[in-house]
Amino acid sequence: MPEPTPCDLLLTNAQILTMDERFSVWTSGSLAIGGNTILAVGTVGPEYEPTETVDCAGRIVMPGLVNAHTHAPMVLLRALADDLRLDVWLMGYMMPVERQFVRPDFVALGTTLACAEMIRSGTTCFADMYYFEEEVARATAAAGLRALCAQTVLKFPAPDAASFEDSLARARAFIRDWKEHRLVVPGVAPHAPYTCTSEMLRACADLARELDVPLQIHLAETAFEVERSRREHGTPVIPWVNTQRLFDARVVAAHCVHLDEGELRTLKDAGAGVAHNPTSNLKLGSGIAPVAKMLELGIAVGIGTDGAASNNDLDMFEETRLAALLAKGVSGDPTALPARQALALATRSGACAIHLGHLTGSLEPGKRADLIVVDLDRAHNVPRFERDQSAVYSQLVYASKATDVVDVMCDGKWLMRDHQLLTIDEDGARAAAQEMARRIDLFLTEREQSVLQKLIAIGGAAERESFEVQVKARVSSLPTVRRALTSDEITVIRAVHYYQYDTYFFFDDPAQGRLRYREDEFLDDQDNVVNARAQLTLTGPSREAAFGSVLLFRSRFFAPATHSPRFYREYFKPAREREVEKDRHRWLVAFRGVQFYVHVDHLVNPHAGTYFVEVKSRTWSRRDAQDKAAIIMELLNLLGARANETIEEGYVEL
């Protein structure tokens, strides 16, 4: 008889779910581990001589779960802002708070707390995408978990990079530093097609290919994203990123909710993995990914929780159950995504989706010892049937809870024994998280009190005041003004014609001022729309001063409007709003050595039969305003408007 092989650990008497390709199950099996590697699974006999033996009688031993998409540090933003639309949630809350608070210590703390939650709920591997990814990597390695850590690249200034070039340099350095780590596989994460330029997508794909690491990205998450891609690029999301050569890299595509079969085939042909995030997609109202179709085409699909800010937890038991139930509910077919297959998505298939299938996801000799021990003997999970071997999968997917996980091992090291965390100071992390929440609360409470502060938070621009003097009056017709402008005393510098659509937002507290969303459609000589622009203006609550009929106004903020009126409505929650639509002719003129804008407006909505003229000029002091007020009245007379017909507060009651 040959000498027995020494091994570090032998698990015995376990019901072993290997989750290998054949779904091998051992009802009273053993598993031998040497170092960080599985040596043997099944009926392991005296050929192994273990240093330690653990009796797993009555328990399930199975691969640790793989969370195929998350943003671990976002556990610190759990329940910060919920029940909002994706753009308002992301651009209005998540990103401004992240810009303010996300520092290396935030990321390290969040990751530690996330790891505690993941270990407790049986996750041993996750795919992460965040800022300061080296801190995610460090905290993950300290907790002893395995992860694909991908450094975010964005077109906006991010908490860890002022520009795209900075974030790309950061990603390169991060990948270089972590390339050979035992637990962490580094990667790059262009956030999404709508938050990256085509140049950025190409650069990230090149980097991933050059350094041979996976690339993570959010793709086709919402119908809006697809619409926007069609509008801006003339194609849906997948063909667009394909022409940017994104799939030259090994891609992990999160979400993939809104795509057709042709696009799915592109993913399949590219060898891309998909992370299905059912809770996040439901919670943000994004839709339901066509998982059954993906599986039919042979795409590697994993299950992800997404960040805890949109879930709101990292519980893969819950996520797997939801994935199975949704697939049935949406297809009307209860045989869709059976329990065994759902659990495969949460283990082996998930590991393949994030390109770590060679390391983890199943209990097979040669793979890393990433496993969990589950107690199925609690009231909610008895009795157990032996007749059908797949009953155990049903138990795990439809009845088990994350709290049934008793022991967790990753890379051959115990991270939890008998519900006790061995690598993380959970109490310390909890207390520090609470302190962070207190600071974030304070910041948001302050911001929410001011329309201006909220505007700055999303505009990325600083407060910028400007003053102008203006007067408004009725005029009989457009030709009257045109004729007057030919006067020798007036020099016309520029003339444009456009349609102006204004949406005014009013707030209960008049001191907040009023916010105007304005869209201009510029017209050519034949009244065809040749150009468009949108702007936001926050004006003061009232005029600053009056010089006869001429008023002095202060505008407090002015910026291009990059979101839709719907976004601003949901973000600012105005008390009421008003729409005004006008046909405007605009001239820039010089008169008495001063430049003025002359507007002639015809109100389309609300309809008004008359024409209005508005004359205005920038000013910088009360004295200057007073001087200009006198010249304005002269100009107004020249234009054929009579001073006693001036209108104090605009064209319409606002």
CA nearest neighbour of 508 among 445, 598, 574: 574
Least separation in angstroms between CB 307 and Zn ion? 6
Burial category of 653 from C-beta neighbours within 10 Å (exposed 0-12, middle 13-18, buried 19 and up): exposed
Site for Zn ion in 14-43 (CB under 5 A): none
Q: Give phi and psi for 572, each to the nearest 5.
A: -90, -20
Least separation in angstroms between CB 98 and Zn ion? 13
Complex with Zn ion: residue 306 or 502, whichever CB lies closer: 306
Complex with Zn ion: residue 310 or 619, whichever CB lies closer: 310
Least separation in angstroms between CB 132 and Zn ion? 16
Least separation in angstroms between CB 280 and Zn ion? 7
Complex with Zn ion: residue 226 or 551, whichever CB lies closer: 226
The CA distance from 19 to 343, in Å, is 8
Instruction: Decide: is 601 part of the binding site for Zn ion (CB under 5 A).
Output: no
Q: Which residue has the tokens 């009126």?
A: 565
Task: Name the residue type at position 493.
Answer: I
Least separation in angstroms between CB 277 and Zn ion? 7
Least separation in angstroms between CB 227 and Zn ion? 20
Task: Name the residue type at position 298.
Answer: G
Complex with Zn ion: residue 135 or 306, whichever CB lies closer: 306
Instruction: Say if strands 611-619 and 594-605 run parallel, antiparallel, or are unpaired.
Output: antiparallel
List all residues 6 or more positions away from 509 whose beta carbon is below 8 Å from its beta carbon: none
Least separation in angstroms between CB 71 and Zn ion? 6
Task: Name the residue type at position 447.
Answer: R
Helix, strand, coil in percent for the chain, rounding step 5? 35, 30, 30
Least separation in angstroms between CB 306 and Zn ion? 5
Least separation in angstroms between CB 221 and Zn ion? 8
Quick check: 522 and 584 in contact, CB under 8 A?
no
The residue at minimum Cβ distance from Zn ion is 306
User: Three-class SS of residue 154?
Assistant: coil
Task: Name the residue type at position 93.
Answer: Y
Least separation in angstroms between CB 65 and Zn ion? 18
Least separation in angstroms between CB 430 and Zn ion? 24
Complex with Zn ion: residue 221 or 411, whichever CB lies closer: 221
The CA distance from 327 to 15, in Å, is 28
Complex with Zn ion: residue 90 or 600, whichever CB lies closer: 90
Cα distances from 485 to residues 299, 473, 606, in angstroms, run: 68, 16, 28
Site string for Zn ion, 284-323 (x = CB under 5 A): ----------------------x-----------------
Least separation in angstroms between CB 329 and Zn ion? 23
State the alpha helices, DSSP H only, in 144-277.
164-178, 198-211, 223-233, 237-243, 261-269
The CA distance from 55 to 44, in Å, is 13
**The total number of residues written for the chain in this structure:** 654
The CA distance from 561 to 535, in Å, is 4
Distance in Å from the first CA to the final CA of the chain: 96
Complex with Zn ion: residue 171 or 515, whichever CB lies closer: 171
Instruction: Say if strands 214-219 and 301-303 run parallel, antiparallel, or are unpaired.
Output: unpaired
Least separation in angstroms between CB 261 and Zn ion? 24
Q: Give phi and psi for 285, each to the nearest 5.
A: 65, 30
Least separation in angstroms between CB 210 and Zn ion? 25
Least separation in angstroms between CB 68 and Zn ion? 11
Complex with Zn ion: residue 108 or 127, whichever CB lies closer: 127
Q: Which residue has the tokens 């505690």?
A: 116
The CA distance from 651 to 654, in Å, is 8
Cα Rg of the chain (Å, integer): 31
Complex with Zn ion: residue 306 or 319, whichever CB lies closer: 306
Complex with Zn ion: residue 18 or 70, whichever CB lies closer: 70
Complex with Zn ion: residue 66 or 469, whichever CB lies closer: 66
Complex with Zn ion: residue 77 or 473, whichever CB lies closer: 77
Least separation in angstroms between CB 95 and Zn ion? 13
Residue 41 CA from chain centroid, whole number: 41
Complex with Zn ion: residue 275 or 485, whichever CB lies closer: 275
Quick check: 384 and 391 in contact, CB under 8 A?
yes
Complex with Zn ion: residue 85 or 413, whichever CB lies closer: 85
Omega into 186 within 30° of 0, i.e. cis?
Answer: no
Burial category of 81 from C-beta neighbours within 10 Å (exposed 0-12, middle 13-18, buried 19 and up): middle
Q: What is the dihedral of CA 191, 195, 199, 202, to 10 degrees?
A: 30
Omega into 606 within 30° of 0, i.e. cis?
Answer: yes
Instruction: Say if strands 529-539 and 550-560 run parallel, antiparallel, or are unpaired.
Output: antiparallel
Burial category of 474 from C-beta neighbours within 10 Å (exposed 0-12, middle 13-18, buried 19 and up): middle
List all residues 6 or more positions away from 577 whose beta carbon is below 8 Å from its beta carbon: 503, 504, 505, 506, 569
Complex with Zn ion: residue 41 or 208, whichever CB lies closer: 208
Enclosing H/E stretch for 288: none
Complex with Zn ion: residue 134 or 306, whichever CB lies closer: 306
Q: How many residues bind Zn ion (CB under 5 A)?
A: 1
Q: Please count the other Cβ atoms lying within 10 Å of the Cβ belonging to residue 83.
A: 8
Rule CB under 5 A: which residues touch Zn ion?
306
